[in-house]
């Protein structure tokens, strides 16, 4: 017997077939260039392409139930819906039908049970900083915004862990634990929510040393698609108890359940932290220095590359005067002696690759100034072309292939019809090619997506991944199939059906159905 979710998919398939969409590979998430109009990957992944076919209208009875339960924390106001129907991707705003502002796990349970009764989509929302169309309501739905669930519940200093509500942001957490001598290292640049970071398996500038959310989430409280509250993991550092549900939910992009609490690893603030910035004659020299640093086993805490175009944008945006050259930002953590030793080794390696003007920053305010400039790179880039949006690649390759991958990307970008830049956490083999497109120019979007496609394929051919940290969302659905294969994606889809039989949790993300 069909579940309600399967019945909905069958209905949509019939609608699509009537409209002439007959490709079957599409349903496994891969591009089907045989579809009418020979659509490109970009067009196939466009949220408007099929949203009218998928859309499930908000039932009056559901709206009434949510309004009665949540009062003014339930909203159908257009401005509120539009705020929740966009992210930092270039996709156009695709608003949900309504938004609930949850303040507790019980609120989330109530909202999920109500939506479940009406087989109505649910989209969890942290702070909306994701980049791949994760939050767009392609099938309509109720957005459950957890940003008001923003309490740090426990700091267990002796166990080097804390438990927070899902809406706590990483900067808020670090501000609240400042006096404990501990810190939480995962840093995706944006001040994202810890629930959202768990949901996207985020990482960032410090991952080369401290790992991603996968390594740093110990346990979760999750409201399942059936409205049950489960606890995954424990406070123990390790466990062999059954399937690892924590890691199943970490990176699930809101498609399996809603995270309401997160238990995280904390680290002692190092005795010494030194930042450094070094400029190189060419991109190849900078990348070679990074590869050698990693291969020598220097435990750098941060190691990010920024190209000359981006440095120019940063100087204009952050009022810095960095030389406009390929640049690597480093940070070293440890005892005073070991941080200094690491820095000296890296300086020597950099010099041997033509690196110059190795600038040190020991004082916290100087370090912050340097890294703030790096963190603002994305917004600085957007100012290169007023009104533009960014198509951003997120490939990650084994470190031995980094030079080929990044130089290949540069050559591909040289054919772009728009300004481009490269920036990335190169110590992990992860970098972002940024194409600054005019969102009103379909031809330009098409070409940018075609170049994006080439860069991704290059990384896949090198044993890499289409996404090191941003996730699949809408934008990379097709690449997931190419990377993991039909059978593996089919297994993922079966896991999704087992946990979310009605297909209500962020439907249309990671895979189509």
Ligand X SMILES: Cc1cc2nc3c(=O)[nH]c(=O)nc-3n(C[C@H](O)[C@H](O)[C@H](O)COP(=O)(O)OP(=O)(O)OC[C@H]3O[C@@H](n4cnc5c(N)ncnc54)[C@H](O)[C@@H]3O)c2cc1C
Residue ranges in contact with ligand X by CB under 6 A: 87-88, 123-131, 134-135, 146, 166, 188-190, 192-193, 195-197, 199-200, 202-204, 253-254, 258-259, 378, 469-470, 506
Name the residue nearer to ligand X (CB basis): 39 or 420. Answer: 420
Name the residue nearer to ligand X (CB basis): 294 or 434. Answer: 434
Name the residue nearer to ligand X (CB basis): 170 or 353. Answer: 170
Strand order in the sheet with 389-392: 356-361, 272-279, 327-334, 302-306, 420-424, 432-437, 389-392
Name the residue nearer to ligand X (CB basis): 258 or 349. Answer: 258
Residue 477 in tokens? 């659905």
User: What span, in angstroms and rounded, lies between the C-alpha atoms of 84 and 126?
Assistant: 10
Give the nearest distance from C-beta 1 to ligand X in angstroms.
29
Give the nearest distance from C-beta 158 to ligand X in angstroms.
27
Name the residue nearer to ligand X (CB basis): 5 or 126. Answer: 126
Strand ranges (E), 43-193 = 74-75, 98-101, 122-125, 142-145, 152-156, 161-165, 182-183
Name the residue nearer to ligand X (CB basis): 39 or 133. Answer: 133
Name the residue nearer to ligand X (CB basis): 346 or 390. Answer: 390
Nearest to 199 by CA among 310, 124, 271, 286: 124
Give the nearest distance from C-beta 153 to ligand X in angstroms.
14
User: What span, in angstroms and rounded, lies between the C-alpha atoms of 118 and 4?
Assistant: 10
Give the nearest distance from C-beta 99 to ligand X in angstroms.
12
Give the nearest distance from C-beta 168 to ligand X in angstroms.
10
Backbone angles phi, psi at 124, to 5 degrees: -70, 145
Name the residue nearer to ligand X (CB basis): 138 or 258. Answer: 258
Give the nearest distance from C-beta 510 to ligand X in angstroms.
9
* C-alpha neighbours within 13 Å on the C-beta side of residue 412: 24
Strand 152-156 relative to strand 257-265: parallel, antiparallel, unpaired?
unpaired
- How many helices (H) does the chain have, and how many strands (E)? 20, 18
Give the nearest distance from C-beta 13 to ligand X in angstroms.
24
Give the nearest distance from C-beta 394 to ligand X in angstroms.
8
User: What span, in angstroms and rounded, lies between the C-alpha atoms of 90 and 123?
Assistant: 19
Whether 86 contacts 110, CB under 8 Å: no
Name the residue nearer to ligand X (CB basis): 25 or 369. Answer: 369
Give the nearest distance from C-beta 143 to ligand X in angstroms.
8
User: What span, in angstroms and rounded, lies between the C-alpha atoms of 217 and 222?
Assistant: 13
Q: Residue 387: count other Cβ atoms within 10 Å of its Cβ.
A: 9
Nearest to 512 by CA among 489, 482, 483, 495: 489
Query: DSSP per residue over 31-45, as a string?
Result: --TTSTT---HHHHT
């Amino acid at each position: 017997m069909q579940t309600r979710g399967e019945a909905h998919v069958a209905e949509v398939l019939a609608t699509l077939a009537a409209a002439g969409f007959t490709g079957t590979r599409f349903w496994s998430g891969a591009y089907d260039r045989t579809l009418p109009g020979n659509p490109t990957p970009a067009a196939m992944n466009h949220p408007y392409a099929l949203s009218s076919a998928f859309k499930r209208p908000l039932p009056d009875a559901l709206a009434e139930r949510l309004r009665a339960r949540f009062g003014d924390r339930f909203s159908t106001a257009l401005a509120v819906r539009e705020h929740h129907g966009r992210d930092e991707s270039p996709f156009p705003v695709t608003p949900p039908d309504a938004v609930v502002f949850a303040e507790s796990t019980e609120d989330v349970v109530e909202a999920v049970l109500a939506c479940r009764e009406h087989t109505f989509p649910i989209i969890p929302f942290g702070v909306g900083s994701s980049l791949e169309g994760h939050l767009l309501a392609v099938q309509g739905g109720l957005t459950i915004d957890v940003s008001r669930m923003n309490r740090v519940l426990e700091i267990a200093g002796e166990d080097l862990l804390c438990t927070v509500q899902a809406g706590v942001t990483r900067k808020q957490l670090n501000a609240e634990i400042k006096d404990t001598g501990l810190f939480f290292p995962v840093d995706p640049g944006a001040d994202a929510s810890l629930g959202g970071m768990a949901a996207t398996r985020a990482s960032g500038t410090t991952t080369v040393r401290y790992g991603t959310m996968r390594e740093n989430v110990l346990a979760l409280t999750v409201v399942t698609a059936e409205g049950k509250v489960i606890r995954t993991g424990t406070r123990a550092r390790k466990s062999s108890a059954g399937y690892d549900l924590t890691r199943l939910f970490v990176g699930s992009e809101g498609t399996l359940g809603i995270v309401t609490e997160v238990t995280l690893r904390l680290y002692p603030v190092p005795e010494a932290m030194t930042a450094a910035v070094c400029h190189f004659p060419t991109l190849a020299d900078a990348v070679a220095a990074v590869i050698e640093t990693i291969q020598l086993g220097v435990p750098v805490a941060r190691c990010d590359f920024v190209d000359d175009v981006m440095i120019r944008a940063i100087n204009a945006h952050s009022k810095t005067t960095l030389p406009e050259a390929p640049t690597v930002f480093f940070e070293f953590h440890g005892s005073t002696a070991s941080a200094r030793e690491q820095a000296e080794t890296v300086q020597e390696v950099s010099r041997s690759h033509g690196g110059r003007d190795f600038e040190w920053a020991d004082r916290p305010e100087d370090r912050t100034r340097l890294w703030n400039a790096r963190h603002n790179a994305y917004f600085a880039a957007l100012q290169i072309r007023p009104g533009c949006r960014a198509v951003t690649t997120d490939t990650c390759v084994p470190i031995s292939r980094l030079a080929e991958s990044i130089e290949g990307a540069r050559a591909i970008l040289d054919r772009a019809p728009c300004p481009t830049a490269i920036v990335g956490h190169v110590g992990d083999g992860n970098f972002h090619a940024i194409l600054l497109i005019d969102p009103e120019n379909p031809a330009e979007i098409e070409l940018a997506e075609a170049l994006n496609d080439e860069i991704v394929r290059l990384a896949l051919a090198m044993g890499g991944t289409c996404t090191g940290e941003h996730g699949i969302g809408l934008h990379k659905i097709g690449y997931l199939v190419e990377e993991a294969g039909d059978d593996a994606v089919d297994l993922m889809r079966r896991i999704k059906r087992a946990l979310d039989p009605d297909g209500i949790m962020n439907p249309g993300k990671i895979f189509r159905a």
